[in-house]
Amino acid sequence: MEIVKIAVVFISTFIFMEFMAWFSHKYIMHGFLWSLHKDHHNQNLKTSWWERNDLFFVFYAVVSMLFFYSQVEFGFRFGFAIGFGIMAYGFTYFMVHDIFIHQRFKFLRKTNNWYAKGVRKAHKMHHANLKKGGGESFGMLFPPIKYFKEK
C-alpha cells in the first residue's frame, strides 16, 4: 500500500508542476523577474547559448534536491516522491520546450502528431508577444483547446 501512496504523490507532484510552470511563467517570469526571462523572448538580447531564463530550471532543480535531502536527513516520507515528481516534470519540460519547440538541440523537428502540433502552436503564440505584459498560453503540457483546432 505504501508504494501506491508514493506513486500518487509522484503523479500528483508532476501534475501540480504544470500549474507551477503556468503560475511562475505568468506571474514571476512575466512579472518581477522579467529581467531574467526577456532574453528568452527576444533573441536579439541573447549573448550566448545559455539564457538568463535557464536560471528558473536551476531553481526547480535545487527545490527537487531539497526534497531528496528532506527524506534522507529528516525522514520526510514523501521527499523522494516529490523530488522525483519535480525532476520528471523538469525533464519533460526540457524535452518539450528546449528540444522539441526551441530546437536547442537539433532533433525531434517535425511531427504530424496533433498534440505536439498544438503544444508547438500555443508556444509560438506565446512568443509572438515580446513584452513583459500581455501574452497568452503560459503553460506547457496542457495548452488551451483552441490550439488543437486546424485553421
DSSP state of 103: -
Largest CA distance in the chain: 54
pLDDT above 70: residue 47: yes
The predicted pLDDT at position 132 comes to 86
To 10 degrees, the CA torsion angle through 20, 22, 26, 27? Answer: -20
CB atoms within 10 A of CB 57: 15
The residue type found at 145 is: I
pLDDT of residue 108: 62
What confidence category does residue 151 fall into, taking pLDDT thresholds of 50, 70 and 90? low
Q: Spell out the domain ranges in the chain.
A: 2-107
* HSE, side-chain direction, 13 A CA sphere, residue 41: 21
Between 77 and 113, residue with greater pLDDT? 77
Higher pLDDT, 150 or 58: 58
Higher pLDDT among residues 45 and 62, named by residue: 62
